[in-house]
Structure 1
Amino acid sequence: MQFNGLLQTFPSHVKLFITAFVVVLTVGYVTGLTFVSQTDSDSPNGIEENYLGNEEVEDAQVMKFEKGAREMLTIIHTHILSMSFIFFLLGSLVAMTSLPRKLKSFLMVEPFVSILLTFGGIWLLWMGYHWMKYIVMFSGILMTAVYFLGVLAILRDLVKKPNQ
């Protein structure tokens, strides 16, 4: 079966449906990024404080406490499962774009590596491997960049006519 450029060949009502899905999915993704920013987890030290607390910091503006094992398992479990579904659906649509095969493969597979690095890194950070905050930061940024590149590729192909 030929997947390359398949999005361009869909009827307009299917293209509209996929566009609506991608736009709403992106609103949800951006909302998640906004939450990360609100918890000051958009820096390596902020990531560390968010999971390990800052009780010993005397001049902390917001007091944060170390997360417990159950809370950590809940955070990691829900994020790995939900983000796997998000990137499976997005990757399925990327597979039908007209991007070059190697780029398409990267955009489809890399998010799963980043999910494991990000949330495995958060667990390892919580376990005491403080240097993992840099891996978490890098993999989170890469995952987000790949998300938006995939969305742009999908939307680009949805507005293109076949063989354009």
Structure 2
Amino acid sequence: MKYNGLLLTLPKEVKVFVGVFVLVLSIGFYTGLLFIQETDSNHPSGIQENYLGNEEDEEAEVMKFKKGEREMLTIVHTHILSMSLIFFLLGALVWLIQLPKRLKMFLTVEPFFSVIATFGGIYLMWSGILWMKYIVVFSGILMTLTFTASAILVLCQLCFKTAIHTAE
């Protein structure tokens, strides 16, 4: 079965549907990043403070308390499930665009490792392995980069390849 570039052969209505889906998915993804920025969790010390609290810091502007085990399990559980579904759907679209197989493989498999490293790392950091905050930052950045690259590639092929294809 030939699937490389299959997205380009779909009817215009399906392409519009896919494009709108990727745009809305991206809005949701980047809104989550805005939330991370609001909680100061976009750097290692902020991540640690967000999950382990800052009760000892008398100069803290906002008092934060260590999250309970039930809350941590809920955070990890919901994020792993939702992010895996997000990357599965976006990955399926990446497999339908025209790209080298190795690049597709990276863009579609790596995010799953990043999801486990990010949210598993958050749980391990909360459990006391404090150096995991660096893994969380690295894997979170990598996850964001692969999401961004995948979404841009799908949208570009939907928009620009269609115009080139119909012009010929």
Other-structure match for 2:4: 4
Aligned-pair CA distance for 1:92: 0.2
- One-letter code aligned to 2:50: N
How many Å separate the matches in 1 of 2:8 and 2:44?
41
* TM-score normalised by the chain length of structure 1: 0.98
- Alpha-carbon shift at residue 99 of structure 1 (Å): 1.1
Q: Which structure is higher in helix share? A: 2
Give CA deviations for 1:48-106 in whole Å, capped at 9, x if unaligned. 00000000001001100000000000000000000000000000000001111100100
- Given the alignment of the two structures, is residue 54 of structure 1 paired with residue 58 of structure 2, yes or no? no
Q: How does 1:133-152 map to 2 (within 5 A)?
A: 133-152=133-152
Does the residue aligned with 2:96 lie in a helix, a strand or coil? Answer: coil
Q: Which ranges of structure 2 fall in alignment gaps of 5 or more residues?
A: none
Alignment RMSD: 1.1
Matches within 5 A, 1:64-103: 64-103=64-103
Deviations 1:23-45 (A, max 9, x none): 00000001100000000000000
- Where does residue 43 of structure 1 map in the other structure? 43
Q: Distance in 2 between matches of 1:111 and 1:146?
A: 7
Question: 2: CA distance between counterparts of 1:86 and 1:20?
Answer: 15
Normalised by the length of structure 2, the TM-score is: 0.95
Provide the rounded CA distance (Å) in 1 between the counterparts of 2:51 and 2:13: 45
Deviation of 1:156 (Å): 1.4
1:118-148 Cα shifts (integer Å, max 9, x gaps): 0010010001000000000000000000000
Structure 1, unmatched stretches of 5+, are: none
Instruction: State the identity %.
Output: 60
